[in-house]
Chain A
Amino acid sequence: MSESATLETLNAVTATPYKWGFSTDIEMDMAPKGLTEDTIRLISARKEEPAWLLAWRLEAFAVWQKMEEPDWARVKHPPIDYQDLHYYAAPKKKAGPKSLDEVDPELLRTYEKLGIPLKERAILAGVEGADGEGDRPQVAMDAVFDSVSVATTFKATLAKAGVIFCPISEAVREHPNLVQKYLGSVVPQSDNFFAALNCAVFTDGSFVYIPPGVRCPMELSTYFRINARNTGQFERTLIIADAGSYVSYLEGCTAPQRDENQLHAAVVELIAHDDAQIKYSTVQNWYPGDAEGRGGIYNFVTKRGDCRGARSKISWTQVETGSAITWKYPSCVLRGDDSVGEFYSVAVTTNYQQADTGTKMIHIGRNTRSTIVSKGISAGHSNNTYRGQVKVMPKAHGARNHTQCDSLLIGSTCGAHTVPYIESRNPTAKLEHEATTSKIAEDQLFYCRQRGLSEEDAVGLIVNGFCKDVLKELPMEFAVEAQKLLAVSLEGSVG
C-alpha cells in the first residue's frame, strides 16, 4: 500500500463507532429547563439541605452570573445555552430490590453493555445482601445513576475502619461539620466559570473521609454515567485524607450515545493532611460525538488537590478517551513542606474530538516535588493540547519539577500542541521540561505485522507501549480496562 492508502486505513481504524452508546429509559423526576435562583432553591429543597448550603449555592450563582465563559483553551463549540438545560433529574424513588429479578431490566441491560460483572451489577442495582463475600478484589462502588446515587456498597467494611464513603448529599445530612469545613476549601465558588456553575447547582457526587492513620481497606470506585436527555451533570466530589492516612479512588464512566451535546461540569476537591496520600485515577470514556464530530459530551472539569500537610502526596492518573470536548487540568497545590504532586495522563483524541488538558503544580512549601507525565495521542481530525503550569512561589526553597510531555500522531490531519507555562520565583528551584512528538511509523507497523499481528493489534501494542509510564500508575484492574479502552478507541485509526 502507498502512504495515502495507509492513512486511509488509519482513519478507518480510528473512526470506530462508539461501542457503548445506549440510552436507558427509566422514569425521571425532572426540574423544568432553565437556571434561576428558584432552580437552585428547588435542588436544595429536594436534597433536604441545611440553610448554609443553600446560601453558599446562591452566592456561587451570583458570582457565576457575573462571569464569562473562558475562551483561552484550544477548543471550539457552538455557544452553550445554559437556560436550555435541566439542572435536576432523579430516578423515581423505589424500595430497594430484594434480588436481581426485581431490578429494572433496562438498568441491568445497561450494566451488561458496560461489561460490568454480574455480581457487581447486583451491587450497583442496590440488591440487598449482594455485597457479601466476593471472589474479586474488593472494590467499593458508589454508583451515580444520573444525579442520585442509586447504591452505595461495602459500607460495613469501610465503617469498621472509620472510613466515610457516601453520596455527598448524604454527607451533607450525616456529616455536616466535615462538609461545611472542607467544601469549597480547594475550589472556591469564584474559582472559574464552570466551577462556579457547579457550586450553584451540583446535584450529587461522592464524599470520602479517611480518619487519621487509616489505610483505606479497599479501592474506592465510582461509575459515573450520564443518562437523562439534556441534563447537565454537575458532580461534586470531596475527598479528605486525614493525617497519615491513605486512599486510592477510582473513577470511570461510559455514557449513552445521543445526538445533542451534553454539558458536564464536575468539581473534584482533594485534601491531604500531614503524611497523607491520595491516589485518584480516572478512566473517562464519554460519548465523543460521531465521525463528523456531531454530538458528544462537553466535559469541563475542575479537579484540584491540596497537599495541605507536610509530606503529603497527591497523584492524579487519568486516561481520557471520550468526550467531544475535554477541558480538564487536575492540579496540585503543594502547600505542605516536602509534599509531592504527581500527574500522569493519557489523552486520546480521534475524529473531531478536542482535548485541552494538562495540570497545574503550584509549589508553595519548601522542598516540594512534582512530576508530570503527559502522553497525548491524536488521530483523525482531532486536536490534542497539553497545557501545563508549574509555578514556584518565593518560599518554595528547593522545589523540583520534572515534566515529560510526549505526543503521538496518527495520520496527518490531526494536531498536537504543547503549551507549558513555567514561573519560578525562587532561585533554588529546579525545573525540567522535556517534550517529544512522534508518529507511528510505517516500519513499526510492518515489523509487527510480519510477526503475525493484525494492524489493529500492532497499533494497540505500540500505543500501549507509548503510554506505559502512565498505565503502570493505574491500579491493576483499571490498567487492564484502560488498555482495552485505548485499543478500542483507536480501532480503525491507524495504518
Chain B
Amino acid sequence: MLKIEGLTASVDGKAILKGIDLVVPDGEVHAIMGPNGSGKSTLSYVLAGRDGYEVTGGSAAFDGADLLAMEPEARAAAGLFLAFQYPVELPGVNNANFLRTALNAQRRARGEAELDAVQFLKLSRAEAKRLSMPDDMLKRNVNVGFSGGEKKRNEVLQMAILRPKLAILDETDSGLDIDALKIVADGVNALRGPATSALVITHYQRLLDYIVPDRVHVLAGGRIIRSGGPELALELEASGYASVVAEAA
C-alpha cells in the first residue's frame, strides 16, 4: 500500500523529517506515536502534498505509484485521505455540497460515474446514521461553528463517505469524549479490509484499545526510532517517551 524510503523534508528551509522509512502493507493499520513537535503532522502533510512542505530526499510509493510526484487532488483520487489535526473552516460552503463535489471529483478522476443529488443524499444519510451523527451536520457549513469534537467527527464522516484506500488520521482522537472516541474507532474499523490500510497518529493508547494496530512506530526528532507490536503503545503509556528516545540516541 504505502512504502516510504529515506524520506526527508523541510519547512521554511528547516529540516523536519530526517529520513523516514515506513512500510504499511495492504490491510494493515499502523499507529504513529511521538512527542509534540516530532514531525508527525509534517509527515502526514508531506504524504498528502501540502504546499510549503518541501521534500528534500527519499521516496514514497502508493500502490506502486510515485506519490510525491502527484498533485494533492490526484493523491486524494488515488485513495489517500487525511483527517486533519486541525480541520479547516469553509464559511458559506455547505458540508453536503462540499462532500458531493469532492466525491464526484474523485470519481471523475477515476473514470467512475458521478453520483446525483439523490444518490448522494442516500449515501451520506446512511453513513451519518451509522456513525450516530446528526443529519444536520451535513447541512451546516463545513466546520463553521463546530465544536472541537464535532470537527473531528466530521472528518470521520467525510472519510466514511469518501471510502479511501489509505486513511491517515492525525490525532483524530484528541478532544473527543469517550462515546465519540468509539464512533471514530468504528469509522476506522468499518473501513478495514484486505485492500485498505490506515495510519493512525495518536498520543493515547486509549484509542488503540478500540483500533488495534498491527504495528506501532515511535517518531522522534524526524525519525522513526522504534517500531513494535501493539504492546509498544502500552509500554509508552507506562513509561513515556524519554526512555525510548534515550535508548535510540
Can you show 11 pairs from A to B with CB atoms below 8 A apart? A450-B73, A450-B82, A451-B99, A452-B102, A452-B106, A457-B101, A461-B98, A462-B93, A465-B90, A465-B91, A467-B92
Residues of B within 8 A of A442 (CB): 51-52
* A344: min CB distance to chain B, Å: 14
Report the bound CA distance from A3 to B53 in whole Å: 11
A461-B90 contact, Cβ under 8 Å, with A1-B51, A451-B76: yes
Report the bound CA distance from A490 to B72 in whole Å: 21
Does B206 have its Cβ within 8 Å of any Cβ on chain A?
no
Tell me whether A447 and B77 are in contact (CB under 8 A). no
* B205: min CB distance to chain A, Å: 28
A465-B92 contact, Cβ under 8 Å, with A446-B51, A450-B48, A451-B98: yes
* A474: min CB distance to chain B, Å: 15
Does A449 have its Cβ within 8 Å of any Cβ on chain B?
yes
* B153: min CB distance to chain A, Å: 16
Residues of B within 8 A of A449 (CB): 49, 71-73, 76
Residues of B within 8 A of A454 (CB): 73, 105
Report the bound CA distance from A6 to B101 in whole Å: 23
Residues of B within 8 A of A6 (CB): 51
By beta carbon, the residue of chain B nearest A444 is B88
Tell me whether B51 and A448 are in contact (CB under 8 A). no
Q: How many pairs, one residue from A and one from B, have CB atoms within 8 Å of each other in the complex?
A: 87
Residues of A within 8 A of B71 (CB): 449
Does B131 have its Cβ within 8 Å of any Cβ on chain A?
no
Residues of B within 8 A of A465 (CB): 90-93, 141
Report the bound CA distance from A175 to B114 in whole Å: 54
Tell me whether A444 and B90 are in contact (CB under 8 A). yes
Report the bound CA distance from A452 to B74 in whole Å: 7
Report the bound CA distance from A455 to B99 in whole Å: 15
Enumerate A317-370 residues with CB–CB distance to B below 8 Å. none
Tell me whether B101 and A447 are in contact (CB under 8 A). no
What is B's interface to A at a CB cutoff of 8 Å?
48-52, 54, 71-73, 75-77, 81-82, 84, 87-93, 98-99, 101-103, 105-106, 109, 141, 158, 162
* A275: min CB distance to chain B, Å: 33
Does A177 have its Cβ within 8 Å of any Cβ on chain B?
no
Report the bound CA distance from A461 to B50 in whole Å: 19
* Interface contacts beyond A448-B98, A450-B75: sample of 13 additional A-B pairs, CB < 8 Å, sorted by A: A3-B51, A3-B52, A5-B51, A6-B51, A444-B90, A446-B72, A446-B88, A450-B84, A452-B162, A453-B102, A455-B73, A461-B98, A465-B92
Tell me whether B105 and A457 are in contact (CB under 8 A). yes
By beta carbon, the residue of chain A nearest B54 is A2
Residues of A within 8 A of B89 (CB): 444
Counting chain A CB atoms within 10 Å of each CB, the highest count among B92, B101, B109 belongs to B92
Residues of A within 8 A of B98 (CB): 448, 451, 461
Does A466 have its Cβ within 8 Å of any Cβ on chain B?
yes
Tell me whether B106 and A2 are in contact (CB under 8 A). no
* B210: min CB distance to chain A, Å: 25
Tell me whether A461 and B51 are in contact (CB under 8 A). no
Does A464 have its Cβ within 8 Å of any Cβ on chain B?
yes
Report the bound CA distance from A6 to B52 in whole Å: 9
Counting chain B CB atoms within 10 Å of each CB, the highest count among A441, A447, A467, A468 belongs to A447
By beta carbon, the residue of chain A nearest B44 is A450
Does A25 have its Cβ within 8 Å of any Cβ on chain B?
no
Report the bound CA distance from A455 to B51 in whole Å: 12
CB within 8 A of B92: which of A441, A446, A451, A466? A466
* A479: min CB distance to chain B, Å: 14
By beta carbon, the residue of chain B nearest A443 is B88
Tell me whether B92 and A464 are in contact (CB under 8 A). yes
Enumerate A418-477 residues with CB–CB distance to B below 8 Å. 441-444, 446-455, 457, 461-462, 464-469
Report the bound CA distance from A450 to B168 in whole Å: 11
* A28: min CB distance to chain B, Å: 45
Enumerate A111-125 residues with CB–CB distance to B below 8 Å. none
- What are the interface flags for A80-96 relative to B under an 8 Å C-beta threshold, 1 for contact and 0 otherwise? 00000000000000000
Residues of A within 8 A of B73 (CB): 449-450, 452-455
Enumerate A365-405 residues with CB–CB distance to B below 8 Å. none
Residues of B within 8 A of A464 (CB): 92-93
Tell me whether A446 and B90 are in contact (CB under 8 A). no
A447-B76 contact, Cβ under 8 Å, with A453-B101, A466-B92: no
Residues of B within 8 A of A461 (CB): 90, 93, 98, 101
Counting chain B CB atoms within 10 Å of each CB, the highest count among A442, A453, A462 belongs to A453
Residues of A within 8 A of B87 (CB): 447
Report the bound CA distance from A133 to B72 in whole Å: 49
* A144: min CB distance to chain B, Å: 34
By beta carbon, the residue of chain A nearest B108 is A452
By beta carbon, the residue of chain A nearest B77 is A452
Residues of A within 8 A of B93 (CB): 461-462, 464-465
* A435: min CB distance to chain B, Å: 15
Residues of A within 8 A of B103 (CB): 452
- What are the interface flags for A1-35 relative to B under an 8 Å C-beta threshold, 1 for contact and 0 otherwise? 11101100000000000000000000000000000
Report the bound CA distance from A457 to B106 in whole Å: 12
Report the bound CA distance from A306 to B72 in whole Å: 52
Residues of B within 8 A of A447 (CB): 84, 87-88, 90
By beta carbon, the residue of chain A nearest B91 is A465
Report the bound CA distance from A444 to B49 in whole Å: 14
Enumerate A51-96 residues with CB–CB distance to B below 8 Å. none
By beta carbon, the residue of chain A nearest B97 is A461
By beta carbon, the residue of chain A nearest B71 is A449
Residues of A within 8 A of B101 (CB): 453, 457, 461
Report the bound CA distance from A364 to B55 in whole Å: 64
CB within 8 A of B76: which of A450, A455, A468? A450
Report the bound CA distance from A450 to B169 in whole Å: 13
Report the bound CA distance from A442 to B105 in whole Å: 20
CB within 8 A of B52: which of A1, A448, A453? A1
Counting chain B CB atoms within 10 Å of each CB, the highest count among A444, A461, A467, A469 belongs to A461
A446-B76 contact, Cβ under 8 Å, with A452-B106, A465-B92: no
Report the bound CA distance from A435 to B84 in whole Å: 30
Residues of B within 8 A of A462 (CB): 90, 93
